[in-house]
Amino acid sequence: MALLGGFAACRPHTNPDAEKLALGSVLFEDERFSADGRVSCASCHRPEHAFADTLPLSVGAFARQTRRNTPTLWGLPTNLPLMADGGVPPLQIGSLAVLAAITAHGDMAFDPRSLNQKLKAYPGYHELLTRLYPSTDPASAYLLTLQRYLLELSEQGRQDLNTAPPNNPTLIARGRSLFEGEAACIRCHNGEAKSDGGYYNLNLPNRMNELGRAAVTLKEEDRGRLRTPVLRNLQKTAPYFHDGQAATLRDVLEHYQKGAGEAGRWQGDSMEVEAVLAYLQTL
């Protein structure tokens, strides 16, 4: 109980919400909830990478490679359906969204049926969860605690943390005006988190035989359509696209220049590419 020991020692029992939050961050990093005891949420959603990771495809319990690239959890809108295919309801619906998220990506080989039993084996957690959520069972309390933490990451990411003065304000301003104007990126990448919550097929090489949105709607026209991702802290979240096939932001823009399916073709010249790159790095 090293993690929890530290938690109990440094948190006075005064503010239940602060306690939920602190406990959420501890649970987020606890590997014992995975089937092989080696993977926590933070193994893939790494805090130092804006809660994404650096691998093209994430690696879960038993060193199994998964089908998708780990997305950022920073600034995730609470009303956005989750996952690249939108198959999981948004965070705002509560503990069920967290349960669906954990079971949907399956990367921890996490079995929700074992949760109450697991929590019994860790009396520290059991006691804290029962105290913080007296009217629910410990398994639901565990999920609500993770939800509270995810809401915090969502909130933090919405505040503008990029406070360093930009190196090249003119270039960035030009990039922004292209993004919002001629290049029409804003058609899909709009709102605070730069995602409209829509599904589009960008005509990317489909190495993983990706069904995309069709996995949820079972409609042929949705094959290969993916949810517009959040654009936040992009400098820390490489590689890009749902299967990590673009190593750099320059590679992403090259795809838009070649013609990106439903996103169309952006005919930016090399100076314009530099400008959009500079702008993307400020998001």
Q: Which residues bind ligand HEC (CB under 6 A)?
A: 39, 41, 43-45, 58-60, 66, 68, 70-71, 73, 76, 82-84, 101-102, 105, 107-108, 146, 150, 179, 183-185, 187-189, 200, 202, 204, 226, 228-229, 231, 234, 237, 240-242, 249, 252, 256, 262-263, 266, 276, 280
Min dist CB 58 to ligand HEC, Å, is 4
Q: How many CA atoms lie within 13 A of 188 on its CB side?
A: 19
SS3 (DSSP) at 273: helix
Burial (CB < 10 A; 0-12, 13-18, 19+), residue 94, is middle
Please say which residue, 157 or 229, places its beta carbon nearer to ligand HEC. Answer: 229
Cβ nearer to ligand HEC, comparing 26 with 108: 108
Residue spans of beta strands (DSSP E) within the chain: 199-200, 226-227
**Nearest to ligand HEC of 276, 278 (CB atom):** 276
Q: Which is nearer to ligand HEC, 12 or 180 (CB)?
A: 180
Query: Of 139 and 263, which CB lies nearer to ligand HEC in the complex structure?
Result: 263
- Shortest Å distance, C-beta 5 to ligand HEC: 21
The residue among 95 and 237 lying less far from ligand HEC, judged by its C-beta, is: 237
Least distance in Å: CB of 147 to ligand HEC? 8
H helix or E strand, kind and range, residue 88:
none
Smallest gap from Cβ 76 to ligand HEC, in A, equals: 5
CA distances from 61 to 73, 107, 186, 187 (A): 20, 6, 37, 38
DSSP class per residue in 127-176 = HHHHHHSTTS-HHHHHHHHHHHHHHHHHHHHHS----SPPS-HHHHHHHH
> Bridge partners of 225?
212
Question: To the nearest whole angstrom, how small is the minimum distance from the Cβ of residue 216 to ligand HEC?
Answer: 11
Q: Is 157 in contact with 149 (CB distance < 8 Å)?
A: no
